[in-house]
Chain A
Amino acid sequence: MKDLYLLNLKEALNGLKNKEFTSVELTASCIERIKKVDSEIKAYLTLNFENALIEAKKADEIIASRGEEAFEEFPLLGVPYALKDNFSTKGIRTTASSKMLENYIPPFESTVSERLKNAGAIVLGKTNMDAFAHGSSTETSDFLKTANPWDLSRVPGGSSGGAAAAVAANMCIFSIGSETAGSIRGPASWCGVTGFKPSYGRVSRYGVLAMASSTDQPGPIGKTMWDCSYILSIIAGKDLNDATSVTNVVPDYTQTNYSELTIGIPKSYFDLEMDEEVKKLTYEFIEKLKELGFKTKEIDLISPKYSIGVYTIIQRSEVSSNLARLDGIRYGLTRDNFGFEAKKRMFLGAHVLSSGYHDKYYTKAQKVRTLIINDFEKAFGEVDLIVSPTMPITALKFGEGEKNPLFGEMMDVLHEGSAVSGLSAISLPIGFAGNLPVGGQLIAPKLGEEKLAYVGIKFQENTDFHKQFPEIKKND
């Protein structure tokens, strides 16, 4: 049998149910893997090994006494995972990769990690990210530079870079990230794994250190689309602690079926400046979807170049407001400890919200947001899903993004429109440009997660891009 850390979630659950191995063995295997390769990758900021093994032992006792039936009550019983460091964990340091919170130990638990805990999942550790999720490379972390497991001289993408790299390097069975515009899809694409960004409101934001509250949304990063769909069914749903969480019934996303779906190809997305190889692989992705029986149709969408301005204005405004609470009095350090990226964002946010500029920028952006929402609604009258590359290019070398003040926003140009509209989307591995993975994006209407799960699972049943994992080459 292959090493346990290599298992995906479905395989891990089957093995635990059939008592082929124990949760302690599975957890210890992931811990050994982390000890072996994380000195090169630096995906984890805070480790939780001791507690993880205690939890694993408890899980084994439940499995021993109740057998397979235990998994009905605890659908993730004994499965170790990695959690992005902006999810509050009671008793475990939570920094959002910012020096501001380097000593912060939350007295409460985020809803997502609480639901995973109640389902029997085990936290291996907290993963590195762009500080306060401000970025698309994970380089703005105040603590670590996470490397892309496919090429250690490159970034993993961001802001959930540690979470995606931990999955790609097989240092967990799955991970949890969060997205404001691209922070799940982007790193999933650059690390060659699967990312699922749910509709705004589908998953509770309670206990997630806020970036831009009107688009923030947690979601899974996994080794397969089935895994991500299974996890989403567990973490989604109404939460009294988040008034923006929606009440719609949560289905089993692994059990969906559609007889006919049409996938839209937006010309304006493919007209953007992008890597030729990425574009070519995306067209091959579309061909494969056609082979699998899906129809395609060319559609018109407003150029995503406008979503850069809309997203920048909305996000900076919400960032400046959300980070105002960090005054160093109740928790955290004083405001002079903010990194430059956070400062830059708060300055612009304060500017666009200030008297004299509010209508010109803030209100204008929220109006263009309406245009983008209406535009998607019109498109979804003709098609069920929309396809594009996830990222315009493959993973960059360290330091390449620093010169551009809008680096993150430019990298996320293919995500911002759907993010400000609250839509759901996935990134699937669709091939390689040289040795670097490329992701394909599918966007669904609000609460269209079932369609994404259906197409994603079907695509992966017929391809093996998601089965490729990098050999971690140590730097001398």
Chain B
Amino acid sequence: MFTIEDIEKLSELVKLPVSEAEKESLSGMLSQTTLYMDMLNELDTSSVDATYQVTGLQNVYQDETLNKTLTQEEVLENAKIKKDGMIGTTAVLERE
């Protein structure tokens, strides 16, 4: 079950602000979802390994050659704040 406190904690983890109404609705909906997730306990998995990818490919390497890449202008095209060929972000450190 998800309490309002659980939702607030998750909100910080995923950096997503939620309204009071959304908190209510999320706690109800996520609690309902876990019913299907808990159903997996009906199956015995003690003798199998987990599968994280299904291609069977391992250690995919390629030659270290110069490939086509984006120009600096292209990389900056969609950035909201840019200055001197760099992308601007909001400050994370405060000035003394």
| A370 contacts chain B at the CB level, 8 A cutoff | yes
Binary B-proximity of A357-377 (CB < 8 A = 1, otherwise 0): 000010111111111011000
- 8 cross-chain CB contacts under 8 A: A240-B67, A310-B40, A330-B87, A335-B17, A347-B26, A351-B30, A370-B49, A371-B43
Complex contacts, A335 vs chain B, CB 8 Å = 15-17
Interface of B is mostly: loop
Contact check, B30 vs A243: say whether CB atoms are below 8 A apart: no
| A308 contacts chain B at the CB level, 8 A cutoff | yes
Contact check, A201 vs B55: say whether CB atoms are below 8 A apart: yes
Cβ of B48 to closest chain A Cβ, rounded Å: 4
Contact check, B75 vs A348: say whether CB atoms are below 8 A apart: no
The stretch of A3-11, A104-112, A158-166 that contacts the partner chain: A104-112
CA distance A336 to B38 in the complex (A): 31
Complex contacts, B2 vs chain A, CB 8 Å = 351
Closest 7 CB pairs of A and B: A422-B54, A331-B78, A366-B50, A405-B29, A107-B74, A367-B45, A243-B60
Complex contacts, A306 vs chain B, CB 8 Å = 39-40, 42-43
CA distance A14 to B60 in the complex (A): 41
Q: Which of A302, A346, A405 contacts B14 (CB 8 A)?
A: A346
Complex contacts, A344 vs chain B, CB 8 Å = 26, 29-30
What's the count of A-B pairs with C-beta under 8 Å?
A: 142
| B84 contacts chain A at the CB level, 8 A cutoff | no
Complex contacts, A366 vs chain B, CB 8 Å = 50-52
Contact check, A313 vs B37: say whether CB atoms are below 8 A apart: yes
From known contacts A243-B60, A329-B80, infer whether A305 and B52 are also in contact, taking CB-CB under 8 Å: no
| A328 contacts chain B at the CB level, 8 A cutoff | yes
Contact check, B36 vs A406: say whether CB atoms are below 8 A apart: yes
| B91 contacts chain A at the CB level, 8 A cutoff | no
Cβ of A425 to closest chain B Cβ, rounded Å: 14
Q: Which of A200, A347, A368, A374 contacts B10 (CB 8 A)?
A: A347
Contact check, B14 vs A200: say whether CB atoms are below 8 A apart: no
| A340 contacts chain B at the CB level, 8 A cutoff | yes
| B13 contacts chain A at the CB level, 8 A cutoff | yes
Binary A-proximity of B23-67 (CB < 8 A = 1, otherwise 0): 001100110110011111111010011111111010010100001
Q: Which of A240, A243, A361, A409 contacts B57 (CB 8 A)?
A: A243
| A446 contacts chain B at the CB level, 8 A cutoff | yes
Cβ of A24 to closest chain B Cβ, rounded Å: 31
| B7 contacts chain A at the CB level, 8 A cutoff | yes
Complex contacts, B74 vs chain A, CB 8 Å = 107-108
Task: Give residues 313-335 of A contacting B (CB, 8 Å).
Answer: 313, 320, 324, 328-332, 335
Contact check, A244 vs B57: say whether CB atoms are below 8 A apart: yes
From known contacts A308-B36, A332-B78, infer whether A347 and B7 are also in contact, taking CB-CB under 8 Å: yes
- Smallest CB gap from A348: residue in B: B30
Contact check, B50 vs A107: say whether CB atoms are below 8 A apart: no
Complex contacts, B40 vs chain A, CB 8 Å = 306, 309-310, 364-365, 368
- Smallest CB gap from B55: residue in A: A201
CA distance A244 to B57 in the complex (A): 7
CA distance A365 to B79 in the complex (A): 38
Interface of A is mostly: helix
Tier of interface size on chain B? 35 or more
| A421 contacts chain B at the CB level, 8 A cutoff | yes
CA distance A343 to B48 in the complex (A): 32
Binary B-proximity of A137-153 (CB < 8 A = 1, otherwise 0): 00000000000000000
Contact check, A409 vs B36: say whether CB atoms are below 8 A apart: yes
Contact check, A367 vs B50: say whether CB atoms are below 8 A apart: yes
Contact check, B14 vs A347: say whether CB atoms are below 8 A apart: yes
Complex contacts, B62 vs chain A, CB 8 Å = 240
- Smallest CB gap from A201: residue in B: B55
Cβ of B20 to closest chain A Cβ, rounded Å: 14
CA distance A377 to B89 in the complex (A): 50
Contact check, B37 vs A361: say whether CB atoms are below 8 A apart: yes
Complex contacts, B75 vs chain A, CB 8 Å = 107, 330
Contact check, B32 vs A405: say whether CB atoms are below 8 A apart: yes
| A350 contacts chain B at the CB level, 8 A cutoff | yes
Complex contacts, A309 vs chain B, CB 8 Å = 36-40
| B5 contacts chain A at the CB level, 8 A cutoff | no
Contact check, A368 vs B54: say whether CB atoms are below 8 A apart: no
Contact check, A369 vs B50: say whether CB atoms are below 8 A apart: yes
Complex contacts, A364 vs chain B, CB 8 Å = 40-41, 45
From known contacts A361-B37, A369-B51, A446-B54, infer whether A350 and B10 are also in contact, taking CB-CB under 8 Å: yes
CA distance A238 to B16 in the complex (A): 37
Complex contacts, B87 vs chain A, CB 8 Å = 329-330
| A338 contacts chain B at the CB level, 8 A cutoff | yes
Contact check, A346 vs B49: say whether CB atoms are below 8 A apart: no
| A354 contacts chain B at the CB level, 8 A cutoff | yes
Q: Which of B13, B18, B37, B52 contacts A214 (CB 8 A)?
A: B52
Complex contacts, B11 vs chain A, CB 8 Å = 347
From known contacts A329-B80, A365-B40, infer whether A347 and B16 are also in contact, taking CB-CB under 8 Å: yes
- Smallest CB gap from B69: residue in A: A108
CA distance A361 to B52 in the complex (A): 14
